[in-house]
Chains A and B, each alone.
Chain A
Amino acid sequence: MDLSEFRQRLSMLGPDIHAWPDRDAAIALLAQSDAAVDLLAAAGDATPEPSARTTDAILDAVRGKAPE
């Protein structure tokens, strides 16, 4: 799969690559191409802000605290 095919799938099937019939090819492209990653990042619907709990969990992980 090349970038133009990836863009086409994205517009036809939406960003849930795990549900694409040719997801393995899409994942192989994502592994190599920052442009594909940028397309995917821009393709989602408005992403909700993370909750304070999510942010705290991430910062705890950064500090090396054990998860709950």
Chain B
Amino acid sequence: MSKHLSNDRISPAPQDLTVLSDEALFGASRDGDERAFRVLVDRHAGVVRRLALNILGDAHEAEDVAQEAFVAAWRAREGWTPEARFTTWLHRIAVNKAIDRYRSRRATPEPHEAITRLAEAAPAAEVENQHQALERRESALSLRDCLARLPDSQRQALTMFYFEDLDVARIACVLDTTEQAVRSLLKRGKQSLRTLIQRQKSLRGHGSFRIPTTPLNAGA
């Protein structure tokens, strides 16, 4: 718990905001003082991020949860009452967001299933010859290995977008985040995937898959 003073009557100089209690700072934030909110972020972002990390085990997702928790706190500042301890309220917001992600992760089909289906969906009767089918299967299995190494949030976004044909708005809804955050996840995920694939190709000395630019099952 904060060891800072809790006397709301203090009228600090700008550089003295850090001596105020959480509740006094949030009260000032509610009145529009962004500097006060910055002090709160500095003071509590570490614990908020760690709580999310304890639940999710993924540093990238924990960063996202920390951001979302402070955004939610800021948006809900009008409804906060000084009787409630600020940290209890903030930690509850963060834990709820982390739990939502944990549960949506469980509700999302494992990407391994979708990719294994892709790998095995190379029937000999189609135009592909056996060599092409083998290459396709090998590429899909390599893609599966690379995807498995991505942070959960990136893997989920990529899987939903490319394998389940969900659009950005729907993914944002499933992951309980913003469309902008989903676009960022897709971008970061593709970059990470590209790096992993290049590394794997250089280790194997061959390989022909590339990151798709449209959902893999589009038009299927």
A residues in contact (CB < 8 Å) with B:
15-19, 27, 30-31, 34, 37-38, 40-41, 44, 47-50, 54-55, 57-59, 61-62, 66-68
When A and B form their complex, what is the total count of cross-chain residue pairs whose Cβ atoms lie within 8 Å?
A: 88
Ordered by A's residue number, 29 sampled pairs between the chains whose C-beta atoms are within 8 Å are A15-B50, A18-B55, A30-B55, A30-B95, A34-B88, A37-B91, A37-B92, A38-B88, A38-B91, A40-B54, A41-B47, A44-B47, A48-B46, A50-B45, A50-B49, A54-B45, A54-B49, A54-B63, A55-B45, A57-B67, A58-B66, A58-B67, A58-B70, A59-B34, A62-B37, A62-B71, A62-B74, A67-B180, A68-B184
Q: Which residues of A contact B149 (CB under 8 A)?
A: none
Bound form: Cα–Cα A54–B181 in Å? 16
Instruction: Report B180 CB to chain A, min CB distance, Å.
Output: 5
Q: Which residues of B contact A49 (CB under 8 A)?
A: 42, 46
Which parts of B56-91 form the interface with A (CB within 8 Å)?
56-57, 63, 66-68, 70-71, 74, 87-88, 91
Interface size class of B (residues with CB under 8 A): 35 or more
Q: Which residues of A contact B184 (CB under 8 A)?
A: 66-68
Instruction: Report A39 CB to chain B, min CB distance, Å.
Output: 11
A40 in contact with B51 (CB, 8 Å): yes
State the majority secondary structure of interface residues on A. helix
Instruction: Report B118 CB to chain A, min CB distance, Å.
Output: 28
B residues in contact (CB < 8 Å) with A:
34, 37-38, 41-42, 45-47, 49-51, 53-57, 63, 66-68, 70-71, 74, 87-88, 91-92, 95-96, 99, 102-103, 180-181, 184
In this complex, what residue of B is CB-closest to A31? B99
Bound form: Cα–Cα A40–B37 in Å? 24
A44 in contact with B50 (CB, 8 Å): yes
Instruction: Report B165 CB to chain A, min CB distance, Å.
Output: 24
| A66: contacting residue among B49, B56, B180, CB under 8 A | B180
Q: Which residues of A contact B51 (CB under 8 A)?
A: 37, 40-41
| B99: contacting residue among A27, A57, A66, A68, CB under 8 A | A27
Instruction: Report B103 CB to chain A, min CB distance, Å.
Output: 8
Bound form: Cα–Cα A47–B18 in Å? 18
Q: Which residues of B contact A50 (CB under 8 A)?
A: 41-42, 45-46, 49
Q: Which residues of A contact B68 (CB under 8 A)?
A: 61
Q: Lowest 9 A-B CB distances belong to which pairs? A: A18-B57, A50-B45, A47-B46, A61-B67, A67-B184, A62-B74, A15-B54, A58-B70, A44-B50
